[in-house]
Structure 1
Amino acid sequence: MLDSHFVFIPKQTVRYVTELTECIKVKSSDEDVDDSNEFVKFFPSFIWAVRDFTLERKIDGKDATENDYLEFALKLKHGTSKKVMEHNLPRECIQKLFPSRTCFTFSFPTAPENVSCLERLDPADLSTEFLEVTGRFCKFVFDKSDVKKLKDGYTVTGRVLGHLAKTYVDTISSGAVPCLENAVIAMAMIENQAAVKEGLEVYQSGMEKLKNSFPLELKLVSSEHQRLSSMATQTFMTRSFRDTDGKHLKSLEEKLNELFDGYLCQNEQASKKRCEDLLSSLSATMTEKLKQGVYAKSGGYDLFCKDLEDIVKKYSSQTNKEVKVLSILHNLMTF
C-alpha cells in the first residue's frame, strides 16, 4: 500500500499473496463486497526475486528469459482437485492483483564455504553472475519506480506518505484491517486543514505588512485584500487534497473575510485617531479663542467663520481620502 514495487521471494509462502485482500480493504463499507478489482489501481508492480537459482532457464527445452520463467511459474493447472486448487489460487491472485510483473533470478552469491560470513565478504569473493543480476535489479528498481499514486490518481508526496504510514500502523496496531478509503479520508482532513492554515498565513503576512501603513484609503485596502486572497487560495489549492465538496475552500474564504473585516476595523480606528489628532492640533488656536470669548465680541462671527474655514481647508488637504475624514469633520462642525 506504500511501495512502488512489491518484491516477492518464492521461498516465502506463496499463500501469503492470497491473504493480501483479506488484510486490506479499499472501501469502508461493512458489507462483504469483493473489491479485489480496485486493488489493481493502487497496488505496486510485482517483482519475483528468485534466490539461489540453480535451475536452467528452459521451457520445453528452449532458453527462456527471466520474465518467461515467471509466467511459466504462474501457469495454472487444469482440474478441480484440492491439490490443483491450492496450486492455482496464489497464482491466480498474483495474475489478478499484479498485472505488471518482472522476474530476476539470482544465482548462488558465493562458494558454499563462504555462506556463513556473507556480510563480511569482499565484493571480489561474490559471484560475477550474482553481481550482474543484482546490478540489473537495482537499476530496475531505481529507474522503473513510478511515482506512488492513490486509486484516484493523487500523487503521494513524502508528507502524504508519512500520513498514510502512520494511519496504517495505527490501524494495524488496534487490530483492525487497514482501509485505503478511511486512510485517504483521514489524510484529506489533515492535508486540507493544513492547506487552510497555510493560506491564512500567506494572507495575514501580507496584511500585517500593509497594516504598518494604516490608515489607508479604503480602495487600497480592498485591492490588497483581493490580491492576498488570491495568493492564499492558490496556496491552499497547491496543498489541498480531495476537497471535492469545496468544504475547506469555503472555510478558507470565510476566514479570509473575517480577517478582512478585522483589518477594515483597524484601518478605521487608525484613520479615526489620525483625523482626531490632526483636527485637535488644527483647532487648538480656535478652541483657545472660544475660551477667551474672542468670537463673542464685535466682528467675532466673521472671524469665527474665517478660522473655521481655514481649519477645514487644512484638514481636508492633509487627510486626503481617509475613511473617517468626514465623520470626524462633522464632529467639528457641530461643536
Structure 2
Amino acid sequence: MSGGPPPMPAPVCLIENTDQGLQTVESALNLLRRIQQPVVVVAVVGLYRTGKSYLMNRLAQQQPGFALGSTIESKTKGIWMWCVPHPMKKGHTLVLLDTEGLGDVDKGDSKSDTWVFCLGVLLSSTMVYNSRGTIDNQAIEKLHYVMELTERIQVKSGGASEQDDDEMPEECEFVRFFPDFVWAVRDFTLERKIDGHDVSEDEYLDFALQLKKGWNRKVVTYNLPRQCIRNFFPTRKCFTFPFPTEPKNMKRLDSMAEADLDPDFLKVADRFCSYIFAECRVKTVKGGHRVTGSRFSHLVKIYVDTINSGDVPCLENAVVAMAEIENQSAVNKGFRLYEQGMENLKKNFPVDLEPLSAEHQRLSAMATQEFLKLSFKDTEGKYMTQLQEKVGKLYEQLINENVDTSEKLCRKLLSDLYAPMAAKIQQGIYTKPGGYEIYCRDRDAMVAKYRQDGKKGMKGEVKLKEFLEQNKTEANSILMADERLTEADKKMAEDCEQAAVQEQQAKVAAQFHGQLQRALEDERRSEEERMRRMKEKMEEEKRLQREELERAMESKLKEQQEMLEKGFRDKAEIMSQEIEQLKREKEKEADPGFFKKYIIPVAKIGITILSTALPWILL
C-alpha cells in the first residue's frame, strides 16, 4: 500500500548506544520518513538474556530476525527496529523495537539502562516488559526504572515549577500519554493459584500489584513501584510463558521448527501475538494526535537529542517540535503540488482569466487537502496561512506572467495584421478620393481577423482598444484628406470613429467586470470549501483530544473503584481530584470559539488577491 513500510528483510539499528551516548542512525530514520501510514509501535524492554528478541521475531512473523544470544553476553545494543505491514490493520505499519537488555554486567551503566527504559516508554504505544520466573517482590524491585520516570520525563514545558494551583501533579497525567503495559513472564513453572483458586494471567498480575495498607517505611517502599505501574500505565496485560523447549536446546531457539517447541509455549505465544495485533493502539502523542512513520522519525530524534543535551524529555515540547517540522513539510508539499500543476498550465500561456482561475481553484484545493492530510496541531492557523500566502503570491505572479505573455502576443498579432495597411499608407492608396472607405474596410477586416484568433489571452480586447485609440489620429487624417466626402460626411464618420473607440472601451470594462465577478465567486466557493475542510480537521483534532481525556478518565475511574474496594479511601479521594481536573479539561476542549480565531483570517487571502491584483492589470 502507498505510504507503507519499505521492504525490510531484517531489523536495523535505530538508536546506537555508544561511548559518546545514545545516537540516532540516519539510515533508519530515513526508512521511517518514507512511511506515511499510522504506526503501531511495540517496544520490548527487560533484563538482558531473557528472550526479548524471540518475542519480537514472533510479532514480525519472520525468522531469523532480531539477534538471539546463546551465551550470557547481551546481543542487542541500543534499540533495533523492524517495520512490517500490520497483519490485521490495513493501512497501518507495525513498528517493532527491541531494546538493549537492562542490567548487562559488561556495560555497568545504570544511567544508560534508565534512558533505554524511558525511550521504550516514550516511543511505544505498547510496551512489553519481559522477565523470567515469577512476578514476585524481587521481580518488581528489578523494575525500579519505573520509579525514575517522574525524574526522567516531563509532561509540560516548564515542569512542576510552573504548575497552576488547580492542576494535578505531572505524574498523575502520565496515564494519558504512556503506552499500554504488557508483562511477559518467561519460563513460568508455577501454578497460577491464589488462596487455592485458579486465576487468570491478568488476575495474577493484579494480585502482584496489590498495595499494602500503612505508611511505615517498609510499606511505602513495597507500594511505590506497584503504585507507579498502576498510575502510569492505562492498560495492563499479562502472559505467562512456560519453557519453550528443553534447556539444552535454548541456544538454538531461533532456528528450531515450531514442531520442536513445547505446544503450551506456542499456545501462549500465539495468544500474545493475537493480542498485540488486535488490541494495540496506534501511537499517539499529547493531544491525541496519531503518529505516522514520518512523525515517529522526528519523535525519535527529538527525544534522543534532548537526552544527549542533558535535558529532560518533555512530551509537550516534543509534540510542538514535531508539529513544526511536519507542518512546515506539509506546507512545502502542498505548495509543491500547486506549483507543479500551475507549471503545466504555464506552458499554455496566454490563457483567459476563467481557465486560469479554475485551475488555480482546483490546485489550491488539492494543496489544502494535502496540507490538512499531513499537518496537525496548527492551532493558530500559522501554517495554513503560510500555505495560502505562498499560493497567493505565486498566483499573482502567474497572473502577471500570463498578462505579459498575452500583451506581447497581442502586440505582435496586431503588428502583423496591420503591416499590409501600413504598406498601403506608404503607397498612398488611402489618400485618394474614396480612400477612407477602403481604409475602413481594411481596418474592419483586420479587426475581424484579430478577434478570430483564439489565443490572445487576458489582454486581447484591451490591446485592441489601445490600437484603435492609437490609430484614431491616422484614421481622422485619412478621413479629412478624402475629397469625395462632404463636410457632413466627414463629421458623421468622425463621430463614428469616436463611438467605435468608446464601444471598445465599454466592451473591455464589461468583459473585465464579468471575469472578475466570476473569479471572485469561484474564490468565495473555494474559500467556503477550504473553511469546511479546516473545520472538519479541527473537529477531528478536538475529538482525538476528547478521546485521550476519556481514556484517562476511564483508567482513573477503574483504579479509583479498585482502591475503594481494597479500602484505600485516601488514595481514592486523591484520584477524585484528578478525575475532576480531567472533566474540566474535557469541558474546556469542547469550546467552539477556536474556529473564529483559526479559520476566518485564512479565508480572506484569496479574495484579497483577486480584488487588488486584477484591476490594474486588466484595465
TM-score by length of 2: 0.51
After TM superposition, list the pairs within 5 Å mapping 1:150-165 onto structure 2: 150-165=285-300
The offset of 1:265, in angstroms, is 1.2
Query: Which of the residues 317, 338, 342 maps onto 1:207?
Result: 342
Query: Which of the residues 315, 328, 332 maps onto 1:193?
Result: 328
Query: Which of the residues 200, 208, 218 maps onto 1:73?
Result: 208
* SS at 2:289 equivalent: coil
CA distance in 2, matches of 1:193, 1:92: 41
Query: Which of the residues 116, 128, 150 maps onto 1:21?
Result: 150
CA distance in 1, matches of 2:442, 2:307: 83
CA distance in 1, matches of 2:252, 2:293: 36
* SS at 2:377 equivalent: coil
* SS at 1:78 equivalent: coil
After TM superposition, list the pairs within 5 Å mapping 1:65-104 onto structure 2: 65-104=200-239
One-letter code aligned to 1:173: N
Task: Please say if residues 40 and 97 of structure 1, whose CA atoms lie closer than 8 Å, have aligned partners that are also in contact.
Answer: yes
* SS at 2:290 equivalent: coil
CA distance in 1, matches of 2:183, 2:381: 43
CA distance in 1, matches of 2:285, 2:230: 21
The offset of 1:247, in angstroms, is 0.8
One-letter code aligned to 2:382: K
After TM superposition, list the pairs within 5 Å mapping 1:15-164 onto structure 2: 15-32=144-161, 33=163, 34-115=169-250, 118=253, 123-164=258-299
User: Is 1:302 equivalent to 2:437 in the alignment?
Assistant: yes
CA distance in 2, matches of 1:290, 1:248: 61
Root mean square deviation of aligned Cα = 2.2
* SS at 2:214 equivalent: coil
The offset of 1:123, in angstroms, is 4.6
Stretch of structure 1 that moved more, 296-305 or 197-206: 296-305
User: Is 1:283 equivalent to 2:412 in the alignment?
Assistant: no
Task: Please say if residues 275 and 319 of structure 1, whose CA atoms lie closer than 8 Å, have aligned partners that are also in contact.
Answer: no
* SS at 2:237 equivalent: strand
Gaps of 5+ in 1: none
One-letter code aligned to 1:106: F
The offset of 1:229, in angstroms, is 1.3
Task: Please say if residues 229 and 256 of structure 1, whose CA atoms lie closer than 8 Å, have aligned partners that are also in contact.
Answer: yes
Task: Please say if residues 200 and 232 of structure 1, whose CA atoms lie closer than 8 Å, have aligned partners that are also in contact.
Answer: yes
* SS at 2:124 equivalent: coil
CA distance in 2, matches of 1:290, 1:175: 87
* SS at 1:40 equivalent: helix
Task: Please say if residues 195 and 239 of structure 1, whose CA atoms lie closer than 8 Å, have aligned partners that are also in contact.
Answer: yes
Cα distance change of structure 1 residues 236 and 118 upon mapping to structure 2, 3 Å threshold: closer
Task: Please say if residues 319 and 325 of structure 1, whose CA atoms lie closer than 8 Å, have aligned partners that are also in contact.
Answer: no
Stretch of structure 1 that moved more, 235-244 or 320-329: 320-329
One-letter code aligned to 2:171: S
CA distance in 2, matches of 1:212, 1:166: 42
The offset of 1:81, in angstroms, is 2.1
User: Is 1:234 equivalent to 2:375 in the alignment?
Assistant: no
* SS at 2:453 equivalent: helix
Task: Please say if residues 130 and 185 of structure 2, whose CA atoms lie closer than 8 Å, have aligned partners that are also in contact.
Answer: yes
User: Is 1:172 equivalent to 2:307 in the alignment?
Assistant: yes
One-letter code aligned to 2:326: E
Q: Which residue of 2 aligns with 1:270?
A: 405
CA distance in 2, matches of 1:324, 1:223: 18
CA distance in 2, matches of 1:94, 1:84: 16
Q: Deviations over 1:71-90 (max 9, x none)?
A: 11001112222221111000
Q: Which residue of 2 aligns with 1:183?
A: 318
CA distance in 2, matches of 1:14, 1:57: 21
CA distance in 2, matches of 1:175, 1:119: 38
CA distance in 2, matches of 1:30, 1:324: 62
Query: Which of the residues 297, 310, 313 maps onto 2:448?
Result: 313
Task: Please say if residues 203 and 231 of structure 1, whose CA atoms lie closer than 8 Å, have aligned partners that are also in contact.
Answer: yes
One-letter code aligned to 2:129: F
Q: Which residue of 2 aligns with 1:9?
A: 130
CA distance in 1, matches of 2:450, 2:234: 80
One-letter code aligned to 1:325: G
Task: Please say if residues 286 and 316 of structure 2, whose CA atoms lie closer than 8 Å, have aligned partners that are also in contact.
Answer: no
Cα distance change of structure 1 residues 118 and 323 upon mapping to structure 2, 3 Å threshold: closer
Task: Name which structure has the greater RCO, CA cutoff 8 Å, separation 6+.
Answer: 1
Q: Which residue of 1 aligns with 2:561?
A: none
The offset of 1:101, in angstroms, is 0.8
One-letter code aligned to 2:231: K
Q: Deviations over 1:8-56 (max 9, x none)?
A: 2354712111112221111111443521232212211111122222322
One-letter code aligned to 1:29: G
* Larger strand proportion of the pair: 2
CA distance in 1, matches of 2:310, 2:438: 91
One-letter code aligned to 2:390: K
* SS at 1:77 equivalent: coil
One-letter code aligned to 1:24: I
Q: Deviations over 1:109-145 (max 9, x none)?
A: 3334445555565655543333322222222222221
User: Is 1:254 equivalent to 2:389 in the alignment?
Assistant: yes
Task: Please say if residues 195 and 235 of structure 1, whose CA atoms lie closer than 8 Å, have aligned partners that are also in contact.
Answer: yes
CA distance in 2, matches of 1:17, 1:202: 46
Q: Deviations over 1:205-260 (max 9, x none)?
A: 22222222222221221122122212211111111111111111111111111111
CA distance in 2, matches of 1:256, 1:143: 43
Q: Deviations over 1:144-187 (max 9, x none)?
A: 21112223221111211111112111112222211111111111
CA distance in 2, matches of 1:283, 1:7: 84
One-letter code aligned to 2:130: I
TM-score by length of 1: 0.91
Task: Please say if residues 143 and 225 of structure 2, whose CA atoms lie closer than 8 Å, have aligned partners that are also in contact.
Answer: yes
CA distance in 2, matches of 1:259, 1:45: 47
Between Structure 1 and Structure 2, how many residues are aligned?
Answer: 335
Cα distance change of structure 1 residues 252 and 105 upon mapping to structure 2, 3 Å threshold: same
One-letter code aligned to 2:126: H
Stretch of structure 1 that moved more, 40-49 or 118-127: 118-127
One-letter code aligned to 1:111: E
Gaps of 5+ in 2: 1-121, 132-138, 164-168, 472-619
CA distance in 2, matches of 1:115, 1:315: 90
Task: Please say if residues 8 and 48 of structure 1, whose CA atoms lie closer than 8 Å, have aligned partners that are also in contact.
Answer: yes
* SS at 1:75 equivalent: coil
Stretch of structure 1 that moved more, 5-14 or 33-42: 5-14
